[in-house]
A and B are shown apart, each in its own frame.
Chain A
Amino acid sequence: MSAIPDPVAAAVAATVARHRQDPHYILQMLREIQEACDWIAPEAIDRLQQALGLPRTKVEGVAGFYSFLYTKPRGRYRVLFSDNITDRMLGNMELLRRMCEQLWIERGKTSEDGLVSVDTTSCTGMCDQGPALLVNNYAITRVDAPRVDAICELIRAQVELAAWPREYFRVDDQVRRKDVLLGAALAPGEALAAGCARGAEALLAELKLSKLRGRGGAGFSTGLKWEACRNAAGSEHYVVCNADEGEPGTFKDRVLLSAHADLVFEGMSLCALALGARRGMLYLRGEYRYMLDQLNAVLERRRQAGLLGIGILGREGFDFDIEIHLGAGAYICGEESALIESLEGKRGTPRNRPPFPVTHGYLDQPTVVNNVETFAASCLVALRGGAWYAGIGTSASAGTKILSVSGDCARPGLYEYPYGVSVSEVLAACGAVDVQAVQVSGPSGVCLAAGEFGRRIAFEDIPTAGAFMVFDQRRDMFAVARNFVHFFAHESCGFCTPCRVGTSLLRNLMDKLNNGHGSPYDFAEIEKLNRILQAMSHCGLGHSACNPVLDTIAKFRPAYERRLQQKEFEPAFDLDWALEPARQMTGRDDAGAHIGSVEKS
């Protein structure tokens, strides 16, 4: 045997041991191997497969699904520019080009010396302090030209990430308006003690009384969900916190977890009390990797304080603990059944429903999946009672909602309001002027034009998962919709035909319009695809992939009509454009190398 230590073997052995050889942790293992070795080499898959006794197809199927796992070398430094529309508005593409030029590389390709790659990624949740990027999955905010230049220097000098200036990695909470949730300064254990004093039955009664509804967007009654899960038969019950905050423009969970992690974990513990659950999992999006260690530290502190573990708060039989699973770049895992698949170490494909997670969730057992904000809010109910909570907000939408405000405004950040707040109130508070449109709840939500700013944030009017992106009169709403369509095409899981192919066809049509080949025919095609996506798709991603297009067509039609430069149909194919690779290969760009100029001459 060779005496040279094999870093791949060591990395695989370490991660397999850390996760007790449990194949359900395969995504965590792959992620840790990637962190240790910069990519997942075939030898790593060999070793992992052998250690876990899994077929190779299973490991490769999972590794191939997640954007942040690489089965081909992508460099020691992997730079991903966040590509939400808010990053675009702050000039991210110019910064990306600058970095590529300085590093002498092409976007999406690894440098020849294997040192670095630069590409884009879906919104990283730093919209209020963008443009943002990730280096080896660690977030860097407020990127500008000098920062790009400095980063290029650090990469060229091969400085370890840990030695980069801390300032680059600074993530501010930017809480602009606090209400009952962000303003609640609860001591760790306070709400849990109140919940224990009430007991499981009474806690559920208070939750139902509170009319608390899920904050992830769908708005299902939290009390009913917990009760249905409690009543469902199973060998174990599970509590899952959905912190896969992937909807572009949303970043409230990031702040809740960085500033109020105790509240979130405490809400999960209350849920465990209600269900009789012993295990909880928090699924943290891969873009928030930087928070993993601090969150684990909070969990450890809570264990030391008797708020997690065996006999919580001295109550015999109240045994509950929480572990954190990190995602790896897949928006679809925010869908609760896809999230459960991912937790089980599978590809993040949404399940056929019914059955729903409350009866058949993690490992087919009864499982509550709630949003970060929902768990946090449940603490307030446990402490102050359902009647008090139901008195906040509107009759159909109790409590408060945290909005993640970004885009064209003076004061981006978090705004917590009681439900029922009007869009114009929020716009005034964040210092937005000359507003053309607001995209509420991200690309899968709704785009509002100026005439609708009197509408209210509430389940009965505009439900939202929290994103609130502001566009002033300078912005081109077609470009906004096109960015969102690209997002959906990139994030489609590929399971069902309409979404897998339809989102790509929609992207191609939007690009065709953008490239000046659009005609009224293409417009009709877009509307036809929208119908198919809505009617035939497997899950919410496909159903909502056309929302931004439908909304902007309805409300900002001139932005599209400017693109319909042709009266008659013309193909998307452009012969001159198709010659570009040949021009690049031959290093030519003279008149003779262009179709149009040859015809003219």
Chain B
Amino acid sequence: MSASFTIDGKAVPFAEGQTIIQAALAAGVYIPHLCHHPEFKPHGSCKLCTVRISGRQSASCTTLAQAGMAVESDTPALNDERRTLTQMLFVEGNHFCPSCEKSGNCKLQATAYDLGMMTAHFDHFFPSRPVDASHPDVLLDFNRCILCSLCVRASRDVDGKNAFALSGRGIKTHLIVNAKSGRLADTDVTLQDKAVRVCPVGVFLRKDRGFNVPIGRRVFDLKPVSAYVDATAALAKE
């Protein structure tokens, strides 16, 4: 563990085979991210973690760390672009934070606050995405889906169920469940599944419990997402 590179001038050690974001989070250096999860293989779709290396931008979750590389991350220009990506995610779906049970525990919301996003900026797409309330324990609200594939990966790689997948293409890409009826009730998904607990936004909601922790005392109400470095552990306790 002797090799290192720098992020914004700060030395970051890394092990062979680690990506930039893996090394950064391990060293306590925050890089904004949504589709990255420390327990899963690099994915690279949200692009929030894009950094600048020798004048070229690339996703830090899919770029291997190399000794001596100088990574720029917390710069006004990169944060401007990350804010724009976050705004894109907001207008693409239907995100109504004030009435959302995940408010305060939502990585998208927390990242938006942290990047200083004040408005959605772009015209909303207002897609029609009916919720699926068929399952006895879990409500699926597709309106909040940011297509990060974490539930897809968790169900496939951890739960061994392949309960979720992305279908469609382009702006019509959407989450589907493993049932001919298209209803979650007709799958083998249970509350214990990793897939149900890994969503960085509010697609998966427990039916028997709501607002257990009052708004104001939730994970990202206490401190901003960047102060957690990796908020996954804190969210897992909720």
The interface residues of chain A lying within 8 Å CB-to-CB of B146 are: 497
Determine if A61 is an interface residue (Cβ-Cβ < 8 Å): yes
A352 lies within 8 A of B62 (CB)? yes
A46 lies within 8 A of B44 (CB)? no
Determine if B69 is an interface residue (Cβ-Cβ < 8 Å): no
Which A60-84 residues have a C-beta within 8 angstroms of B? 60-61, 63-67
Q: Interface residue count for A (Cβ, 8 Å)?
A: 44
Identify the closest chain B residue to A531 (Cβ). Answer: B81
Determine if B162 is an interface residue (Cβ-Cβ < 8 Å): yes
- 13 contacts across the A-B interface (CB closer than 8 A): A55-B178, A56-B179, A65-B167, A66-B169, A352-B44, A489-B171, A492-B171, A493-B170, A494-B171, A496-B44, A501-B91, A535-B50, A536-B57
Contact indicator per residue, chain A 483-517, by CB within 8 Å of chain B (1) or not (0): 00000011111111110111111001000000000
Contact indicator per residue, chain A 556-581, by CB within 8 Å of chain B (1) or not (0): 00000000000000011100000000
Distance, CA A60 to CA B39, complexed state (A): 27
Distance, CA A494 to CA B171, complexed state (A): 6
The interface residues of chain A lying within 8 Å CB-to-CB of B176 are: 57, 60-61, 64
Q: Which of A57, A65, A347, A498 contacts B177 (CB 8 A)?
A: A57
A330 lies within 8 A of B84 (CB)? no
Determine if A528 is an interface residue (Cβ-Cβ < 8 Å): yes
Q: How close is A531's CB to chain B, nearest CB, in angstroms?
A: 8
Contact indicator per residue, chain A 506-542, by CB within 8 Å of chain B (1) or not (0): 0010000000000000000000100110011110000
A494 lies within 8 A of B169 (CB)? yes
The interface residues of chain B lying within 8 Å CB-to-CB of A503 are: 170-171
Which A452-508 residues have a C-beta within 8 angstroms of B? 489-498, 500-505, 508
Contact indicator per residue, chain B 64-106, by CB within 8 Å of chain A (1) or not (0): 0000000000000000010011001101100000000000000
B168 lies within 8 A of A65 (CB)? yes
Determine if B158 is an interface residue (Cβ-Cβ < 8 Å): no
Distance, CA A67 to CA B166, complexed state (A): 15
A58 lies within 8 A of B165 (CB)? yes
Contact indicator per residue, chain A 537-551, by CB within 8 Å of chain B (1) or not (0): 110000000000000
B85 lies within 8 A of A536 (CB)? yes
Q: How close is A489's CB to chain B, nearest CB, in angstroms?
A: 7
Which A302-348 residues have a C-beta within 8 angstroms of B? 330, 347
A494 lies within 8 A of B168 (CB)? yes
Most buried by B among A42, A63, A498: A498
Q: Which of B46, B81, B173 contacts A535 (CB 8 A)?
A: B81
Q: How close is A86's CB to chain B, nearest CB, in angstroms?
A: 23
Q: If A65-B167, A505-B122, A538-B47 touch, does A498 touch B178 (CB 8 Å cutoff)? A: no
Q: Which of B57, B122, B180 contacts A56 (CB 8 A)?
A: B180
